[in-house]
Structure formats: structure tokens, C-alpha cells
Structure 1
Amino acid sequence: MTTRSRRETVTFRHPFRIKGIDRLLPPGAYEVITDEEMIEGLSFASFRRVATMIMVPAASPRGSTMEMISISPVDLADAQRIDADAPHE
């Protein structure tokens, strides 16, 4: 089965939370990786999402390492909407 990964950077202007991550994350740019697999048997290339992960700073005391955490794309969109709706400082 053919798979591909898409990477994008999302930026949060305020501290934020995403369901599945048990801590408040600081504002900043975050890499989001989406894995997709090709749907076989079609006469055109079509892919379906099979996983979405976000790279976040590791929880203390691990220091400056990063963690890749699986998240729901809906939860990511909710966090982005809340961040965009937050009042500017």
C-alpha cells in the first residue's frame, strides 16, 4: 500500500491545549505530520488520512527534547479556532 506523509507548520499566538495532551503548551510554531494511505482500486489517485501527529516540547524533566504525539485533526482545528478567537494582547 502506498503511503505518504505531509508536514505543515501551525502557529499558536497564545498558550493552548489539545485533547490528549495533559499539559498547557506554550505559544509558537509546531510541526504537524499527517500520514495518508492511497485508496486502492480507483482510476485516480486518492488518499485517506490514517494518522495526525504534532511535535511538542517534551514534558519536564526531559529538557530540550521533543515528543511526537498522536492527535485528532478535529481537536487540532478546535485549538486553532480557539487561538484565533482569543483577544489580541
Structure 2
Amino acid sequence: MSSSASTSAPSARVAQLSTWQVFRAPLLVGIVAAAGLVFGLFGDGMWDGLCWLGLSVPILLSLIYSAGWNFGSQPGSQDVQVDA
């Protein structure tokens, strides 16, 4: 009985992330989106293309992560426990 309790318990070792590690990606996405908004103010032509590119990055990232796509993981590599 004690062996099943120890396997289902979460790991006691929790990774501690620094502030930079936590906010690095959201800060980068925010800077890209803000740059897209600024590029939209400059004019037509190339600036419009940069505006679309900058503003599409947060939308694309939200679609990728809301769909739950796992790039780089092997199919069937998730641990699934079936109760018998």
C-alpha cells in the first residue's frame, strides 16, 4: 500500500524560477505587439506589413497554446494511468 502512495505523490523538488525567467516570454510578446502598433502609425507599404506581422504574433501564440499543440514531444509519450 505504501508503494502506491509514494508513486502518486508529487515530487518534493520544485524548480524555482527567477523573475526574468518567468516574465521573459510575455515581455517579448508585449514588445513585439507594441512595435506592431507603432509600425502601424508610420505609414503605408512596408510599415503596414510590419504592423500585421507584429500584431499577428500574439494571436498566433494564443492559438497555438490554446489548442494544446506540443511541438517536440513524442506521440504517446504522455504518462497515462489506467485504473483496472
The TM tier, using the shorter chain, reads under 0.3
Q: TM-score, normalised by structure 1?
A: 0.23
Say which structure is richer in strand. Answer: 1
Q: TM-score, normalised by structure 2?
A: 0.24
| RCO higher in structure (CA 8 A, sep ≥6) | 1
